[in-house]
Amino acid sequence: MKAKKGELKVITGNSAAAYGAMLCRPDVVASYPITPQTEVVEQLSKFHADGVLEAEMIEVEGENSAMNAVAAATLAGGRAFTATSSWGLVYMYDAVLQAAGFRAPVVMANVNRETPGILAVSSGQQDMIQTRDAGWIQVIVENSQEILDTIIMAFRLAEDYDIQLPVMVNYDGFYISYLAEGVRIPAKDDVDQFLAVLKTQPKRTIMDPTHPIGAGSHGLMTEFMELRYKHCAALDRAKKKFDEIDKDYGDFFGRSYGGQIEEYRTEDADFVILTSGSAVGTSRTVVDAKRAEGVKVGLIKLRMFRPFPQEKLIKAIKGKKAVGVIDRSVNFGWNSGPIYTELRALYPEIGPMPILSFIDGLASIDITKPHIERVIDDVANAAKGKPYQAVTWIPLEERE
């Protein structure tokens, strides 16, 4: 059975996030405004005022309370949504860790922005990177339609009985958050139907006054370790589950995104480049142009960052001659890009090949077509066995 086509609207990425959340009928929404996420809260409040959204809207005094409110709401058996960015994410960090440890299936939109201590009201994935070890599922999306679709998928993933983990949907602030483009908005009853499978699953443990339990109890030694193991095991299961949900979504709504990663012209490629977020769209265009020139380059879009899609990446990259990674953030202490260093962990499996790190797009520097052409040229040379530079800070070198 297929879903109805849905209404086509020209909306911003932030609006798309609000639509996605609203369509899933959350019981509780608690969110504190911060640039570039503010419009998400505005739009959700408008939905609530218009009677379209019947959630409990909690006006919180900060992000820390927002995360605690939504995590508690899910522990009480509800569905909850929040959104934040950058300093807001930092300000709720202890609650972010709590939510993951509580296995609270919160869905949060994180509108990527640079983080302290250099004040920058501009785009960058550093906020997401700083939360990578919090135990959340982290997904990175590319455009407004994917934001809306992924938030709906995120609720199904988070609340799945086998997963029970919070999900963070990341999209580039400023670039996607404020860009208005055509978005298909699914019908509410179709979204209900897509999420209905959750109701057929066993009930997850919730705070129920008739059967009192303690949440966040003290974990002692092996009990503590056992819970860590279960958390890791659930993250591991989330990879395959995300692929399945993405496929289900595609079968029903007619749009899917490849699950953990999307491969673009990789099959017969000699070498590949890997990136995420809004840079993927530009990269596709450049890959097409290079292909027209006879350069056998492929592109991998990283959608799932946590858990890290090892198996998928090994399959996609093994046998290629080189890989280049464009990061919109830095890995302090490695002096390179974070996704690059994660990929390097797969070196034994993907075999001997040059892996190149490109740092670009910090603080809203545009990741332009010439930048990506340069990446492809560098990786092509490395693939031919020529000497290469391991880490390149593209905009800084350009300036010299």
Judged by beta carbon, residue 229 or residue 332, the one nearer other proteins is 229
Asked if 103 interacts with other proteins (CB under 8 A), we say yes
**Min dist. Cβ of residue 280 to other proteins (A):** 34
One residue of 90, 97, 179, 215 binding other proteins per CB under 8 A: 215
Asked if 182 interacts with other proteins (CB under 8 A), we say no
Asked if 119 interacts with other proteins (CB under 8 A), we say no
Asked if 240 interacts with other proteins (CB under 8 A), we say no
Asked if 221 interacts with other proteins (CB under 8 A), we say no
Asked if 212 interacts with other proteins (CB under 8 A), we say yes
Asked if 84 interacts with other proteins (CB under 8 A), we say no
**Min dist. Cβ of residue 73 to other proteins (A):** 15
CA-based radius of gyration for the chain = 21
What 3-state class would DSSP assign to 231?
helix
Residues 312-371 that bind other proteins (CB under 8 A): none
DSSP state of 203: P
What 3-state class would DSSP assign to 301?
strand
Q: Nearest-CA neighbor of 173 among 262, 83, 259?
A: 83
Q: Nearest-CA neighbor of 85 among 58, 57, 108, 52?
A: 108
Question: Which region, judged by CB under 8 A, interacts with other proteins, from 117-125, 194-202, 224-232, 388-396?
Answer: 224-232
Transcribe 229-296 into DSSP letters: HHHHHHHHHHHHHHHHHHHHHHHHHS----TTEEEES-TT-SEEEEE-TTHHHHHHHHHHHHHHTT--
Judged by beta carbon, residue 307 or residue 337, the one nearer other proteins is 307
Judged by beta carbon, residue 212 or residue 348, the one nearer other proteins is 212
DSSP strand pairing (180-185 vs 297-302): unpaired
**# residues near other proteins by CB under 8 A:** 24
Question: Which region, judged by CB under 8 A, interacts with other proteins, from 2-10, 55-63, 210-218, 258-266?
Answer: 210-218
Judged by beta carbon, residue 282 or residue 310, the one nearer other proteins is 310
One residue of 62, 77, 216, 319 binding other proteins per CB under 8 A: 216
User: Which secondary structure element, helix H or strand E, spans residue 10, and what is its range?
Assistant: strand 7-12
102 close to 215: Cβ distance less than 8 angstroms: yes
The Cα–Cα gap between 173 and 165 comes to 24
Residues 137-166 that bind other proteins (CB under 8 A): 164
47 close to 22: Cβ distance less than 8 angstroms: yes
One residue of 7, 192, 223, 349 binding other proteins per CB under 8 A: 223
Transcribe 143-154 into DSSP letters: SHHHHHHHHHHH
363 close to 120: Cβ distance less than 8 angstroms: yes
One residue of 202, 217, 294, 352 binding other proteins per CB under 8 A: 217
Residues that bind other proteins (CB under 8 A): 101-103, 164, 204-205, 212-220, 222-223, 226-227, 229-231, 233-234
